Amino acid sequence: MQAEGTLPAAAARLSREAMRVIGSTIVKGPVKYAGGARGETELSFDPEGRRIRVQADVWRELSLMGHWIRDAVILRWAEMTARLSKGAVAPGAVIDKLLQSAEPWRAGPAVRGLYEGVQKRSEGDRGDGGGTGPRGPLVCVWTARQLRSDFDVDHAIPFVFWQGSPSWNLFPADKRVNNAKRDKLPTSDRVRRREEAIVGCWRLLAAKMPVRFRRDAERWEPG
């Protein structure tokens, strides 16, 4: 039986080989040769930790300008595909495929579905300001306000800074609160005050989707 959130064995081998080739190419190419115009090394490779280090100011700019870079890459990729296919594949067809919305990935549909289940079971209950849990009402992680069905799933670390959706970074939030937060990190004071709710979400995720939550947690390596 295939475990939740895993690839079949053959696909997993291909994925590992592809990632090895991509990683090697990135290190030997842009990491080695990009930048240096200011006499500084903006990118470097840490062989011991096997990670790429990026200067903080460069990372912030890349995060904020990422959508412009993405669009340029998509356009050039579509043009190259059409050229290599000698007209068999139209650029527009490639662009349509590559521009498919990232919203389902961003929102973490499995995590949202789990929170929706809690919300439906607790309809009619009154929020007590505590944390969301397997038997408690669904509340906004940042305000303790009990949530209705139109709640948002917030990336505590904003998507613009880290374009991934690990389960431990996804929390139920009031729409107005999430819109006000946007691309800002929660303050340390807010995190301390809402620690119980944050941990409650983690306990819920660990109980209901243990394989994914454990995998996501193991992949997190604070810098």
Among residues 125, 132, 140, the alpha carbon closest in space to that of 173 is found at 140
Residues 170-189, buried b or exposed e (16+ Cβ, 10 A)?
Answer: bbbbbeebbeebeeeebeee
Q: Calculate what percentage of the chain has a pLDDT beyond 70.
A: 85
Structure tokens at 141: 């992680």
Q: Quick check: 107 pLDDT over 60?
A: no
Task: Name the least confident of 12-26, 123-137, 146-160, 172-186.
Answer: 123-137
Res 127: pLDDT: 44
The DSSP bridge partners found for residue 52 are: 45
Which is it for strands 170-173 and 152-155: parallel, antiparallel or unpaired? antiparallel
Task: Give me the residue spans of the domains in the chain.
Answer: 1-54, 55-100, 104-218
Predicted local confidence at residue 3, as pLDDT: 52
Per-residue confidence band for 129, with pLDDT thresholds at 50, 70 and 90? very low
Average pLDDT of the chain is 83
Q: What is the pLDDT averaged over residues 50-70? A: 80
Residue 209 has pLDDT above 50, yes or no: yes
DSSP assigned state of 102: S
How does strand 170-173 pair with strand 43-46? Answer: unpaired
Note the pTM of the prediction, 2 decimals.
0.57
**How far apart (Å, rounded) are the C-alpha atoms in residues 70 and 81?**
16
